[in-house]
Structures are given as C-alpha cells and as structure tokens.
Structure 1
C-alpha cells in the first residue's frame, strides 16, 4: 500500500524550478521526493522554447518563467509499451497516432500544458510526456507567470523572519524591475533569492 505521503498516481502541478530540484531516491525505477512526499508524475504550463524532432521521439523545452523543463514525447509504441509483442502488421497503433497528433501542436512559441512521468536521463530530470494540451487563450502565459511569481513571493514572505529586512529589500527591487519593464522579468532574481544561503543574501549588493 502506498504511503499517505505518496503522490504516486497524481500529476502534481509544479514550477520548473521545483521540478528540476526534486530529490532523487535510489530506487528502481528512480523515484523523487518533494517535502517528504513521493512524486512520480508532474504537470507544467509554459512556452515551447526549443524543439528537436527525431524519428522515434520529439524532445522539447518548456519555459514557465522559473526554468526550462526538458520533455520527451515518444512517437513509437515500442517504448510506450515495451512488453507488447503484438503483431506489427498494417493495423495502426492508436497510441502512436495520438503521439503524432500531439507532436504537431508543439511549435516554438506555443503555450502548452504538459503532463507525464518524471524520469532521469543522463542524471538530469525530464518529463516523459503522457498528454499535451494546447492553451489557446493568449492570456494564459502571462497568467501562469503571475501565479508563479505569487507562489514564490509567498515563500519569500514566509522566510522573511529568518532572512530579515535585507532579503525583503532585494525582493522589492525585483518587483519594481518587473513593473518598470515591458518584458517579463522571468523570476530569475526571485529564484536566486530562494536558493541562496542567508550569509550570501545579507552580503549581496543589488
């Protein structure tokens, strides 16, 4: 029976920054943990910023403003169902056909909602895609970025008791830069603040 702290069958909505820093457990197959809970599947929303189509798979990067998540969509059913020894005759494979249809919507600059298994490839985390939804609302990208910034800000506010006013001051500078710019700030300052040790933050000059 799964642990009450396991999210084994749930596609957990994660920021790219959180997904890429999950703790890998030495199991077979590899499993991952976040805040003490086992996470095996994820959902992310972002912009396709890189695309590499091969014969058997499509590899692409999804940027949600906090980082870029490598994703792979397998186009051949042999990988998706490795134990399937059925005939390879003229009958079409619905799984492969669905994967091909999904690959057609993944052009550069499109906003996608991606769900799939979290896997390791050459020591790096990526998503083995299960399904993809094209977000047709032109405001989705900005909305996702704002939600991500809000999540980060909540975490920073919770950490202010430990880091003190210098930390708060740097966060406000990042917010003002966002307000004054016509381009999205991409949250890099905020992510950096979250990952930096207390001593470094107190010594940083913006």
Structure 2
C-alpha cells in the first residue's frame, strides 16, 4: 500500500522506511516546515517519511556561546536553523591545572593536553561566515525548530569542493528517496519476507540486549521456535533451520554480523561488539591519513576496507565496515572529510 501525503504512517511501520534510521540530508527550509508526529513527539514527517535526525551543511550566520554549548545559526541558502552544539570536557575547561612545565626535554602531559584542546577548539569553535556541518536530532523548543547536534565540525572548503558535491548529491536524494511516497507491501505473498524480517529482528534484539560478541547458529535457534509455532500446527525442523539461515543472511547483508573466519565451525561476530575490529579500523585510518596520498581528502572507504581485510579479516563486508565507521563518527573518533572519505578528528 502507499501512504498518502496527508496520512501519518503508524509508528509500528516506521522501521520499514530506510530513511527513518538515517541522517536525512534535507534542505533547512523543509526541516523548518516538517510536521511533528501526533504519535511520538520528536519525530517529524517529510511527505510520508518519518524523520528524527538530519544532516545539514551551511554557513554560520550567528553564534552564541554558553558554558556548556554553542548556538550556531546555520544557513544553507534555503533557510536558517539554530543548532545546539554541546561542548565536550576539553572545550569546557578554560585552562588545565597541574604541572610546572614538565621535565626539560621530556614528555609534558599538560602541554600535550593543551595542544589537543587547541586542536579540538579549532574544529569546533566556528566563527561567523565559516562552513559548518551538523548531524543531530530535530527538536522543537519554545515553538522554534532546532537541531541538537551529536556531531558538528568546521569544514575547510577553500575551493568549495565539499559544497559543490553537497549541492549535487542532495537533489538526487530528493528525487530518489525523499519525494517518493513510502510504499508498504501488505500482500499475503510477502508473508515469507515478513517472517524472515521478524526472525532477524528477534535475533538482533537478543544480541543487543545480551551484548553478545560472538555466537553460533544453534545459540539463537530456539529464539525462533515461537515464530514457527505461530505459523504452523507442527514444528518441522527443516522450516526452522531454513528460517534461521535466511535470518542470519539478512543480518549479514545489513552488516550487523559477519564471519571473521569461514570454517566448518560456523561462528558469527557481532559487528558493533567486536572491539578488535574497531581498533583495527581506527589504526588504519590513523596511520594512513598521515600519508601524503590521503592527507588532504582522508582515506576512502574502499581503501579502509581493503586495509582492514588484509590486517584483520578477509571476510569483512563493506556494510559491516560502514556500521563501524558510522559508530566511530557518532562518537567523534573520526570525521568524514567528504563523501566516503574519513580521517581522524
């Protein structure tokens, strides 16, 4: 079925819209005009698409600073929106105490922390007329729409390469995604797809709740037994094993899990819980971004994938790597210099 523009999609179906889990690159004009959901406060609708987090790029037109946060007015030429950008601990500390200058010719931790503080300030303390990128959730405060930033940083764009790339990508996103109505299939012929989706969700929720790092198929097989019983009067093992196989394949396609080593011992690693994988990705970006080849634009995602495969696991998928990169960027460990290029913050 299609959801019309005047009809609000039921919240239980929001997860079927891929835009809901992404940072939507909307024009600020549309962010300001989105209607808030009557079902869940803090979620908004552009056409029939539920949206609660956005990604904007624009020029700073005003700035206010408080003890704990910056308020930046960001203008993308379609409108101006207030962005609430919280300071981290380094930015909140006006000065660092302790130490008298360090050992002569030795390592001075206080001095190094001051260098780190200055580096962070140079990326986060943005002045009027400078270019700022902000990712965060949409809020309405005192009847004014604003963005509460999870990631924000100044963009150095002397030849306007980033802005030109942005202006080319965003209209295409509107044509391919945002301006197309959400289509939800409710035909009975899709029952098998629905079962696989439910099974994948059951396994995903269990792994997240238990913080599981590694598992084997038989560890989660019994979780799907109620799903089989709800559809059939009997409990055929063949259907259960097939459903488990397809659900695990779905989670692999999403990058949520992967097999570090393919062997008869079928062991899956949960991407978000694999600390060694996260360390390997950070090491590759940290080391290679210092090379002259990557110093300006950062490391391309395909280069990072190739390097991590050689260093850690040949079976790592691009979707799994992208989940790790997204997590690192949300935690401000890395930043995206341009589309598909990353470097250390």
Please indicate the TM-score interval, normalised by the length of the shorter structure.
0.5 to 0.7
* Aligned equivalent of 1:11: 23
Q: 1:30: how far off? A: 2.4
* Aligned equivalent of 2:164: 143
* Aligned equivalent of 1:128: 148
Distance 1:71 1:63, change over 3 A: same
* Aligned equivalent of 1:41: 53
Residues 64 and 144 in structure 1, CA contact (< 8 A), matched pair in contact too: no
Secondary structure at the residue paired with 1:14? coil
Residues 73 and 81 in structure 2, CA contact (< 8 A), matched pair in contact too: yes
Kindly provide the CA deviation profile for residues 49-103 of structure 1, in whole angstroms up to 9, marking residues without a partner as x.
10000112211100111111110012378xxxxxxxxxxxxxxxxxxx8xx7487
Distance 1:20 1:144, change over 3 A: farther
Cα distance in 2 for partners of 1:34, 1:135 equals 27
Which of 43, 53, 60 is matched with 2:65 structurally? 53
Stretches of structure 2 lacking an aligned partner (at least 5 in a row): 1-11, 90-116, 176-345
* Aligned equivalent of 1:191: none
Aligned length, in residue pairs: 133
1:65 and 2:70 are equivalent in the alignment: no
Stretches of structure 1 lacking an aligned partner (at least 5 in a row): 78-96, 155-206
* Aligned equivalent of 1:30: 42
Cα distance in 1 for partners of 2:122, 2:44 equals 26
Cα distance in 2 for partners of 1:24, 1:41 equals 13
Q: 1:27: how far off? A: 4.0
Distance 1:52 1:9, change over 3 A: same
Q: 1:6: how far off? A: 5.9
Higher helix share: 2
Cα distance in 1 for partners of 2:31, 2:150 equals 16
Cα distance in 1 for partners of 2:82, 2:49 equals 22
Q: 1:40: how far off? A: 0.6
Over aligned residues, Cα RMSD in angstroms? 3.3
Secondary structure at the residue paired with 2:19? strand
Secondary structure at the residue paired with 2:21? strand
Alignment map for 1:1-206 (pairs within 5 Å): 2-3=13-14, 4-5=16-17, 7-75=19-87, 101=121, 104-138=124-158, 139-140=160-161, 143=164, 147=168
Runs in 1 of length 4+ with deviation above 2 angstroms? Answer: 5-9, 26-30, 74-77, 100-105, 140-151
Cα distance in 2 for partners of 1:13, 1:122 equals 24
Secondary structure at the residue paired with 2:24? strand
Kindly provide the CA deviation profile for residues 117-138 of structure 1, in whole angstroms up to 9, marking residues without a partner as x.
1111111211001111322122
Cα distance in 2 for partners of 1:147, 1:15 equals 13
Using the size of structure 1 for normalisation, the TM-score is 0.54
Higher strand share: 1
**Greater RCO (Cα-Cα under 8 Å, separation 6 or more):** 1
Query: Which range is displaced more, 44-53 or 100-109?
Result: 100-109
Cα distance in 2 for partners of 1:114, 1:142 equals 14
